Amino acid sequence: MAFSIRTRLTFWYVTLLTVSLIGFGVAFSYSLFKIFMYRMDNQITSVANMMVHTVLKPTGQIFLPNDFDIILERFFGIRTSGNFIQVRDAHGGVLAKSSNLEGATMPISQDTYHAALNGFISYEVVSMAGRYPMRVITKPIILPQKGMVAIVQVGESLEGVQEVLRSLFYIYVLAIILAVITASAVGWFLARKALKPVTEITDMARRIGAENLNERLNIAVPQDEIGRLASTINEMIERLEKSFKQIKQFTADASHELKTPLTILKGEMEIALRGKGGPEHLREALKSSLEEIDRMNYIVRNLLDLAKMDVEREALPKERVSLDRVLTERFEHFRRPALDSGVHLAILRNKHAVVCGDSVRLGQLLFNLIDNAVKYTPHGGRVELSLDEESGKAVVRVKDTGVGISPEDLPYIFDRFYRVDKARTRDVGGAGLGLSICKEIAESHGGTLEAASVAGKGTTFTAALPLAGAVAEA
Ligand SMILES: Nc1ncnc2c1ncn2[C@@H]1O[C@H](COP(=O)(O)OP(=O)(O)OP(=O)(O)O)[C@@H](O)[C@H]1O
Ligand SMILES: [Mg+2]
């Protein structure tokens, strides 16, 4: 069963308090008992000492009066009241005892008797039928020539001690119950107070949805744990808001991009339907329509590619790909079109480099980069390709002497649908998706794609991908 934090906090608090109170109570009663015992032992020891002086004559004889009680009364007065006294002979037989013992006899165990024989004094708690337990001192009387001649036993009832301890126990149990009840109530209240900000955060977070992602949680004390939690949640909402915006923007751009060719297509069709021109005109209209369809097809294909890559990222094929081979293939593919547009395309260096990944996607990456370079380089320009190995990475550079990209545009060229010159690129057929696909491919292979450019002079794209060996080591 799951309990709330508040319940658990209160439970632990109360449990801890109860355990410490009980611990304290046990320690306290034990100490008190020890103190009582200490005092009692002192008392019976001094009575026992006096008894030894009373019964032992200077001649070494044991003197036992007829009326033991009278003697006790006379010698010790009030002090013996409550003490039980008993004198035994050397064999353990009872010689005399105080009348308050009535018919009973203070027992002596084998061990105690042997200890006395050896001259040792014993203290013990003894129980006698129908009476309270007693604390008893057993002290031998030893003469140098004769050895042990008698044993003096003095006892005191534990009744008083037990009574005090019992009353203390009842008071203490009552106090613990009261303390636990009070502590539960206070703990419950304090836990609620401490957890109030969490409840507030929960309520606030519940209110934030897709429509009001711009809202943030209020943070009362930013430095404490709750404050940090709230700012972490705020950061998360911010990231969500950003990706939500990106998705919205992407959808809007995609619809817009597809709408343009559709509008043109519709226009062409309407003109053709009106049938004013001859068959030549109709041919033109169909040709133009086909171009728009191609364009839409191209955009949709690229969009699908991007969507697929977003999903595929984890499940990318991991084959060994010779990047130099891919580069040569792409170079061969573009040789003719480059020649046609008067651009000199060349491979400067092509080092053998094996990377781990998807050969089709890597081919697409190089294709898009070379395609751009050729596309955005005017007649007479150069496009140079190179593949090097630099600190565990395969580095492909596509360098052109084309139109270049201004510093204001450079940060955005990898964004989806971003094109520098909207009007011009439409003629060249770009949708602004090529570079975002390239970036996605490079990153899904654990690499990077960067651009450096000087407007009017040319651009260099650098893709760095980890070598297959480096991936295996990592
Ligand atoms: N080598 C380059 N020289 C100059 N500008 C470039 C170069 N490569 C890209 N750009 C600029 O960056 C923009 C984005 O490039 P990207 O490849 O993403 O789109 P595109 O080429 O216009 O269209 P697509 O590649 O989808 O057919 C281009 O429109 C172009 O303005
Ligand atoms: Mg492109």
Does any ligand 1 atom lie closer than 6 A to the CB of residue 253? no
Is 127 found in the same domain as 20? yes
Does any ligand 1 atom lie closer than 6 A to the CB of residue 47? no
Say how many Å lie between the CA of residue 172 and the centre of ligand 2: 86
pLDDT of residue 128: 85
Which residue is closest in CA terms to ligand 1's atom 27? 430
pLDDT of residue 350: 95
Say how many Å lie between the CA of residue 367 and the centre of ligand 2: 9
Whether 190 is in a domain gets the answer no
Say how many Å lie between the CA of residue 450 and the centre of ligand 2: 14
pLDDT of residue 426: 53
Per-chain residues with Cβ under 5 A from ion ligand 2: 372, 434
Mean pLDDT of 404-415: 94
Is 469 found in the same domain as 326? yes
Whether 168 is in a domain gets the answer no
Pick the range with the lowest mean pLDDT from 300-314, 334-348, 456-470.
300-314
Whether 272 is in a domain gets the answer yes
Q: Closest by alpha carbon to 355, among 312, 326, 314?
A: 326
Which residue is closest in CA terms to ligand 1's atom 1? 373
Print the SS3 string covering 366-391. Answer: HHHHHHHHHHCCCCCCEEEEEEEEEC
- The model's pLDDT over 266-303, given as tens digits with 9 standing for 90+, comes to 988 888 888 776 788 888 888 888 988 988 898 898 88
Residue carrying structure tokens 């297509």: 265
Mean pLDDT of 312-339: 90
Is 349 found in the same domain as 304? no
The kind and range of the H/E element at 89 are strand 83-89
Is 251 found in the same domain as 114? no
pLDDT of residue 474: 41
Q: Which ligand is nearest to the CA of 428?
A: 1
Say how many Å lie between the CA of residue 419 and the centre of ligand 1: 6
Q: Which ligand is nearest to the CA of 253?
A: 1
> Which residues face 463 on adjacent strands?
396, 449
Does any ligand 1 atom lie closer than 6 A to the CB of residue 303? no
For residue 472, name the pLDDT band (cuts at 50, 70, 90). Answer: very low
Q: Which ligand is nearest to the CA of 435?
A: 1
Mean pLDDT of 447-464: 96
Mutate to test the pocket of ligand 1, among 371, 435, 440, 454 (most ligand atoms within 8 A of CB): 435
Does any ligand 1 atom lie closer than 6 A to the CB of residue 324? no
Does any ligand 1 atom lie closer than 6 A to the CB of residue 217? no
Q: What span, in angstroms and rounded, lies between the C-alpha atoms of 81 and 156?
A: 10
Does any ligand 1 atom lie closer than 6 A to the CB of residue 435? yes
Does any ligand 1 atom lie closer than 6 A to the CB of residue 376? yes
pLDDT of residue 138: 95
**How far is residue 234 from each of residues 66, 203, 245, measured CA to CA in Å?**
99, 14, 16
- The model's pLDDT over 67-86, given as tens digits with 9 standing for 90+, comes to 666 766 776 664 556 788 89
Query: What tokens does 104 get?
Result: 């009973």
Does any ligand 1 atom lie closer than 6 A to the CB of residue 230? no
Which residue is closest in CA terms to ligand 1's atom 4? 404
Percent over 90 (pLDDT), the chain:
51
- Measured from the Cα of 299, ligand 1's closest atom is 26
Is the confidence at residue 424, as pLDDT, over 60? no
Its pTM surpasses 0.85:
no
Whether 186 is in a domain gets the answer no
Residue of 36 and 305 predicted with greater confidence: 36
pLDDT of residue 429: 60
Mutate to test the pocket of ligand 1, among 305, 343, 399, 419 (most ligand atoms within 8 A of CB): 419
Say how many Å lie between the CA of residue 244 and the centre of ligand 2: 26
pLDDT of residue 470: 55
Query: Cα 306 from chain centroid?
Result: 36
Is 347 found in the same domain as 230? no
Domain with 249 in it: 209-314
Residue carrying structure tokens 């007065």: 77
Residue of 316 and 407 predicted with greater confidence: 407
Q: In whole numbers, what is the pLDDT of the chain averaged over residues?
A: 88
Is 309 found in the same domain as 321? no
Does any ligand 1 atom lie closer than 6 A to the CB of residue 373? yes
Does any ligand 1 atom lie closer than 6 A to the CB of residue 416? no
Please identify, among 135, 163, 191, the residue that sits at the C-terminal boundary of a domain. Answer: 163
For residue 463, name the pLDDT band (cuts at 50, 70, 90). Answer: very high
Is 135 found in the same domain as 52? yes
Q: For the chain, state the CA radius of gyration.
A: 52
Is 222 found in the same domain as 101? no
pLDDT of residue 209: 82
Residue of 316 and 237 predicted with greater confidence: 237
* Number of residues written out for the chain: 474
Give me the CATH number covering residue 227.
Answer: 1.10.287.130
Please identify, among 105, 130, 163, the residue that sits at the C-terminal boundary of a domain. Answer: 163
Is 453 found in the same domain as 329? yes
Whether 114 is in a domain gets the answer yes
Contacts of residue 367, defined as CB under 8 A and 6 or more positions apart, other chains included, come to 330, 333
pLDDT of residue 298: 87
Is 398 found in the same domain as 454? yes
**How many domains does the structure of the chain reveal?**
3
How many C-beta atoms surround the C-beta of residue 141 within 10 A? 19
Q: What span, in angstroms and rounded, lies between the C-alpha atoms of 87 and 107?
A: 12
Does any ligand 1 atom lie closer than 6 A to the CB of residue 458? no
Is 230 found in the same domain as 310? yes
- The model's pLDDT over 97-111, given as tens digits with 9 standing for 90+, comes to 888 888 889 999 999
Does any ligand 1 atom lie closer than 6 A to the CB of residue 460? no
Whether 192 is in a domain gets the answer no
Which residue is closest in CA terms to ligand 1's atom 23? 430
**How far is residue 30 from each of residues 19, 27, 125, 165, 169, measured CA to CA in Å?**
16, 5, 16, 9, 12
Is 155 found in the same domain as 9? yes
Percent over 70 (pLDDT), the chain:
93
Which residue is closest in CA terms to ligand 1's atom 13? 419
Whether 299 is in a domain gets the answer yes
Whether 407 is in a domain gets the answer yes
pLDDT of residue 81: 64
Does any ligand 1 atom lie closer than 6 A to the CB of residue 420? yes
Mean pLDDT of 438-456: 94
**How far is residue 361 from each of residues 220, 316, 467, measured CA to CA in Å?**
50, 10, 16
CB 105 within 8 A of CB 112: no
Please identify, among 273, 290, 314, the residue that sits at the C-terminal boundary of a domain. Answer: 314
Q: What span, in angstroms and rounded, lies between the C-alpha atoms of 299 and 417?
A: 10
Say how many Å lie between the CA of residue 356 and the centre of ligand 2: 24
Give me the CATH number covering residue 24.
Answer: 3.30.450.20
